Structure 1
Amino acid sequence: MSADAGQAGGHRVVAPEVDPDAKVKGPASYFPSIEKTYGRPIQDWLDIAADGLVEGRAHMEVVSRLKDDHGMGHGHANAVVAYVKAKLR
């Protein structure tokens, strides 16, 4: 489990603080769009993904759950799961 585990209100993976003037790369670059599109803070999505991965679900199983249960698009779901997976290592 990563150093992020157990921080900030018990979240397994803490949402990054993004400088609006910085060019964000990787999965986190999707986070502003995810919040705008689905109307929930990115921390909610990170928590859902972390719960699934910690329970032993495979990457694509968690992606499918975000898509099927929450209506998230594939690219957004994959970005959330990839970010969480990298932080849990």
Structure 2
Amino acid sequence: MIRPLLTEIGIFLIPFAAYALFVFASRREVLNRSSWPARIVLGLSMGACLLVILSLVLLANFSGASPDTTYTPARVENGKFIPGSDK
């Protein structure tokens, strides 16, 4: 469960990292407060939220088994574990 969460946090941070690289490339101080005006941070936050929403929609649509498969849950028969499967 932690991997999908870290993936979404990473996707959220992409616009901020790109802007930080832009600030660094333009020879300004990255950690200077004047390099991060509120309007820019708001725009980056909105873009980051859109990226996260897009990634969640794509994950929901293109991951997992196809819709016509039947899932068989894992079970224990005669003390032996039988893993679940998609058929």
TM over 0.5: no
Q: TM-score, normalised by structure 2?
A: 0.30
Higher strand share: 2
Determine which structure has more spread, i.e. the larger CA radius of gyration: 2
Higher relative contact order, chain-length normalized (CA < 8 Å, sep 6+): 1
